[in-house]
Chains A and B, each alone.
Chain A
């Protein structure tokens, strides 16, 4: 089954404790991205990746890191989480190339609470 898998689905942690949210897709998609969703603000893009070893900042990259060492995986890293990063996070992928858009397939989301 074609899917985007995020882990964990839920996490409660404390300020400053490094964490990684994993994202994996099995559709051989080139494009992957991370969004955070906050009430009243919709979905805001954190980082995106056009292909392996190619990543770019989205709208709200501060406090986050990503890597794209393999095509299927795009982990989101919070080196020193803070309470303002408490949010619902979505990973998405699409077969998009640089000059076109394709529908994005979203994971089920990861709800992070930073205390």
Chain B
């Protein structure tokens, strides 16, 4: 299946600091989805990016799709304890292959 590398694997931030996770592919992606999984929970869909260079915002979350459609990022501004969880990117066409995820810990 498609291979994507997601970095970092873990990130600890102080509450109020910013956080970014990156998803990189060696091949061009048709689209990419982002999911969040809270501790003990199941993945929940956040957003889908389709167009080259696309940028979408959800409150403090900013999602970007690279111009070459080979990478994507999720940036959280001024993290809060509610942001704790693992963030997955998931590129795919007919089916989804998930990145390994970035586990975010927010220290109050």
Chain A residues in contact with chain B, CB under 8 A? Answer: 33, 35, 40-45, 48, 50, 56, 58-59, 90, 92, 96, 98-99, 101, 103-109
Contacts and interface: CB of A to CB of B under 8 A. Distances in A.
A43 B1 contact: no
Interface string B69-108: 0000000000000000000101011111111110000000
Contacts of A43: 43, 88, 90, 98, 101
A44 B42 contact: no
B42 A101 contact: no
B42 A45 contact: no
B interface, size bucket: 20 to 34
A77 to B, nearest CB: 19
Contact of A45 (B9, B88, B95, B101): B95
B42 A50 contact: no
Given A90-B42, A106-B42, A58 B100 contact: no
B43 A107 contact: no
A106 B35 CA distance: 11
